[in-house]
Homo-oligomer: A and B are copies of this chain.
Amino acid sequence: MVQFTGGHLDTAFAALADPTRRGILERLARADASISELADSFRMTLTGMKKHVGVLEHADLVATEKVGRVRICRLGARRLDAEVAWIERYRQLWEARFDALDRIVEDLQHPRTNMTRRTRS
């Protein structure tokens, strides 16, 4: 065990851990926007907004392009497939774990001499 080459998962989850950043993604899903548009949508300085966009860009959740004096921000390539995959796998383990617990509780209440493992219902 001991190390978990996290890679994308780290940066993607970290990027999603901020409400402003999630807001920006929702906003960009409606339409592309400049840094200033985003900045005053979220009542924040240009500089502050640029940092958030930087984080999202670094996670490939946003892509930007400079056109004249304005930087256009659009949704990036990352579709969060790996992230959902991790969580879904975790949820399966979670369910299995609690199913097992249920079986134990039930066995304590209705013990049976046959100790072979029961199959999932």
Binding site for B on A (CB under 8 A): 1-6, 9-11, 13-14, 16-20, 22-23, 25-27, 29-30, 41-43, 75, 79-80, 83-84, 86-88, 90-91, 93-94, 96-98
Contacts and interface: CB of A to CB of B under 8 A. Distances in A.
Contacts of A94: 29, 75, 79
A43 B2 contact: yes
Given A20-B4, A22-B4, A91 B87 contact: no
Contacts of A3: 19
Given A3-B19, A4-B22, A42-B2, A87 B90 contact: no
Select the residue from A16, A23, A80, A97 with max chain B CB neighbours within 10 A: A16
